[in-house]
Chains A and B, each alone.
Chain A
Amino acid sequence: MNKIFATLGLAAILAAPAMAFAPRADARTVTLTTQLRPYGGNGAYLAIYLTDAQGRFQSTLNVAGGKAKYHAHLRDWSRGHATETARIDGITGASVGSGQTLRVTADIADALIDAGYQIRIDTAVEDGRDNPGEIIAPLTSAAAGQPVSGRGYVAAFRFDM
């Protein structure tokens, strides 16, 4: 009997986050593809986030690189993230190696699309330079699928809705 309750409980715990991350009806799943240049260093830290047209931080979409102590090098994002209440545990992955491609998905509310918002990426590599706002791509239906190249480690970034 106890075992059944325990199993049910466990199932509920496992299912809860899955339900929490299911796309809401008024949101769209966006695929974010970031291809890095073969810069030949240690794995790059990336933060992909939304800002408004003035560059004010909105929310975090994805973070590559799990050691929080290095997040200060993702300067703009880290300043904005300090004001964010949402946790990033679920959307943080490993750092991205030289020449590798990061492909992740994020849910973006419909209200933010074609409303003057931007997708930005900060990048940083150990012993290399930090590139806050390396990518700035307008979050518009027209810009979707169009590759943008960065001036630091990012060879090409595109998002598909």
Chain B
Amino acid sequence: MLRHLHSLPGLFAALLIAVLASTGAFLAFDSVIERAGTTVPATGQVSLSNLAQAVQARHPEVERIVRTPSGSVIAYYFEADRPGAERVDPLTGQAIAPHEPSNLTRTITNLHRSLLMGDAGRAVAGLGALAMLVLCVSGAIMLAARLGGWTAILRPSRGTFWQRLHCETGRLAVIGLMLSALTGCVMSLVTFGVLPDGRMAETGALVAPLGGARLAVGQLAALQAVDLADLRELTFPYATDLTDSYTLATARGIGHIDAATGQMLDFTSNTLGQQMRDTLALLHTGRGVWPLALLLGLAALTAPVLAGTGAVLWCRRRLASPKIRANVAAQSADTILLVGSEGNSTWGFAVTLHAALTKAGHRVHAAPMNSLASSYALAGRLLILTATYGDGDAPASARLFQQRLARVSKTLPVAVLGFGDRSFPKFGAFAEAVSAALCARGWPLLLNTRLIDRQSAQDFAAWGNDLGLAIGTKLPLTHVVTRPKTTALMLSERVDYGAESPAATAILRFVAPPGAPGDRFWRRTARLPRFAAGDLVGIFAPGATLPRLYSLASSSADGVLEICVRKQPGGLCSGFLHDLRPGARIEAFIRSNPAFRPARCSQPLILIGAGTGIGPLAGFIRHNHAQRPMHLYWGGRHPGSDFLYEADLTRYVGDRRLTRLTTAFSRVPGGSYVQDRLALDAEALRGLIGRGARVMVCGGRDMARGVASAFEVILQPLGLDLSTLKSEGRYLEDVY
């Protein structure tokens, strides 16, 4: 809901807001520049009467002296019946230069407030300000929710490059943008008369001067008492009309001065409305308070960036979200289908199930598990299809499910189906956990919880059959696994370790294959897809329907796609990759893995890996040009056979990209595992954690478990535990 509230005005108003914000930024910087070019005397330094005297000495027919909010002083006068205007040095009253208001500034001002379209444009600009206000508020709430509450709002954000750019830019600018938007809205309402204007009508002197001989302006007692800093505008009386008076507008009000006696004839203090109007103008423009203008200008500059990145995020989410035909709204559906998916493959099954149920006459609502509503008006059953992430954790679209489940009061008959790979120990663990949680809350099970191994279409069809029996519908489920869109890559180089040993490992480097001569010209330049170290590449072995995922050891900026692959006994994909010769091609796709990426801060990083788990860690170290402290703990079998990246790591220590390298080898006399080395270094690691260090673990499941228990012991004296570290995003795992 909040997301819709954020993205709809964003989409409709992105261009409008970009125009309003960039013109606003121009005007803010324009006023800062004007302020920088102006000498502003200290309060009490310059009296208005002296200044007026100096101006009138030069221009006997001076008409008005105006002090702009930025502090420059402008005199308007007639000379030989021609009007003129000049900027005046506030200290001396001498002329600086003729005053020529900039046409560019005027046009930008009109563009900013009315889009050069008169009152209709003003209304549109007002709506733009309203849209920006809605975006600021909803964005701030979403950011707080994403980072774990308002107290956590300053934590480093996580996510893909575009998400981080959007969140961090927004966080930086939200206060300034909100101030601009809110004051803009109020000004618009004032313009259209919805709020009172507060402007004081300028009236003539209440008491007319007697019309005696005039004093020189420098001798007017009432003006001598006025400090230049208080001046808004001083209007001189007509030379020919002796009953005319000086009109003085200051920050406090408007008064009239008798030119003959020099006394104030009357003075009307600013009304509360006028004061509010002045404050509003000050807060919106920052004129007169240049640091505020600078802040507002810089904040406004981010708005086009936010609009652009927001549009990119929206498009990506649209493209990534599965296309469900005829999805029924949650409150009018008889069947609710919730999906927990990390990489969208589970959604493919949900689409098939949705279509089959719909064909059987059901009204089905499909949604991510995170969207579990607290009640469904018409639903008669709930179906849950979910994958498991990592070591039994919830996949991305199901992280909030358990929490939301606690808010649901009415139970429904439910069926849970898990997806996974039987070769992993925690196969379907999350599905089991969901099922257990539902049972504990008294939800009746339609079917026993079942698990689908490696996207098996047969298992799925069998489950559909049973579900059909349970709900009294014939439910034929024919699922065709959709293959992700792949790109061709060419092996350019390979480095082999322990080729003869049973644990042969290779570092493989792929490049984009050169285009064929017949290709269109934009295809001829070889380009890799976008990825960063720690992301995943999915590779299809020939004839395989399912991809294998490998962690990436390089980023696309390196110009190569690098992975570490250990040859698994009987492994289809690892065998295929190990047999590749340079020049051979593969079909692959990138899966972004923002959850496993070093947070951008300067705290030390403790990198822990074993075997091929070194890959992404080596990638992080390679890009550590800022020489952030990085401590690598890595475990292998034997320094002679599988010391991956040995030469590179030595070089990284030499040029300080890597602070310290600690290795553990298991197949040497007195061999040890990486978790043993951690236990030995417990004191040093505690020191690092105490300084805010972050931990990243990459490698096999057993190693990760060993490392986790070693860390529980290490953390105990600090009064910390692993789950706290994990919830703060300071302990990240990429486990396979």
Contact = CB atoms under 8 A, between A and B. Distances in A.
A129 B204 CA distance: 18
B325 interface: no
Max chain A Cβ within 10 angstroms of own Cβ: one of B103, B197, B204: B204
A75 B245 CA distance: 13
A151 B199 CA distance: 29
Interface in B481-537: none
B432 interface: no
B76 A69 contact: no
Given A42-B106, A42-B110, A128-B101, A79 B204 contact: yes
Contacts of A79: 204
A129 B64 contact: yes
Contacts of A130: 64
A40 B103 contact: yes
A150 B202 CA distance: 24
Given A40-B103, A152-B83, A129 B63 contact: yes
A129 B77 CA distance: 9
A123 B430 CA distance: 77
A58 B101 CA distance: 36
A26 interface: no
A151 B83 contact: yes
A151 B76 CA distance: 13
A72 interface: yes
B78 interface: yes
A116 interface: no
A145 interface: no
Interface string A52-77: 00000000000000000100100100
Secondary structure dominating the interface of A: loop
Interface in B61-109: 63-64, 76, 78, 81-83, 85, 101, 103, 106
Interface in A116-131: 127-131
A19 to B, nearest CB: 31
Contact of A151 (B64, B78, B101): B78
A131 B204 contact: no
Given A72-B202, A79-B204, A151-B78, A129 B83 contact: yes
Nearest to A152: B83
A128 B202 CA distance: 17
Contacts of B63: 129
A80 to B, nearest CB: 10
A42 B111 CA distance: 12
Interface residues of B, number: 17
B601 interface: no
Max chain A Cβ within 10 angstroms of own Cβ: one of B82, B83, B101, B106: B83
A151 B201 contact: no
Contacts of B204: 79
A129 B106 contact: no
A151 B82 contact: yes
Interface string B685-723: 000000000000000000000000000000000000000
B197 A129 contact: no
Max chain B Cβ within 10 angstroms of own Cβ: one of A127, A128, A129: A129
B81 A151 contact: yes
B201 A127 contact: no
Nearest to A149: B81
Contacts of B201: 72
Nearest to A131: B83
Interface in B106-140: 106, 110
Given A41-B101, A72-B201, A127 B106 contact: yes
B113 to A, nearest CB: 11
Interface in A90-109: none
Contacts of B202: 72, 75
B249 to A, nearest CB: 12
B83 A41 contact: no
Contact of A129 (B76, B81, B103): B76
Contacts of A69: 197, 199
Contacts of A131: 83
Interface string B195-228: 0010101101000000000000000000000000
Contacts of B110: 42
A96 B506 CA distance: 79
Contacts of A42: 106, 110
A151 B293 CA distance: 37
A41 B99 CA distance: 14
Contacts of B64: 129-130
A130 B76 CA distance: 10
A141 B555 CA distance: 88
Nearest to B85: A129
A128 B100 CA distance: 10
A133 to B, nearest CB: 9
Contacts of A41: 101, 106
Nearest to B81: A151
B502 to A, nearest CB: 84
Contacts of A75: 202
Contacts of B81: 151
Contacts of B78: 151
B247 to A, nearest CB: 9
A129 B65 CA distance: 11
A41 B102 CA distance: 9
B119 to A, nearest CB: 9
A69 B192 CA distance: 12
A40 B103 CA distance: 7
Contacts of A72: 201-202
Given A42-B106, A127-B101, A129-B76, 11 more contacts: A40-B103, A69-B197, A72-B201, A72-B202, A79-B204, A127-B106, A128-B101, A129-B63, A129-B64, A131-B83, A151-B81
19 contacts: A40-B103, A41-B101, A41-B106, A42-B110, A69-B197, A69-B199, A72-B201, A72-B202, A75-B202, A128-B101, A129-B64, A129-B76, A129-B83, A130-B64, A131-B83, A151-B78, A151-B81, A151-B82, A152-B83
Interface of A: 40-42, 69, 72, 75, 79, 127-131, 151-152
Which 4 pairs of residues, A with B, have the shortest CB-CB distance? A72-B202, A129-B76, A151-B81, A79-B204
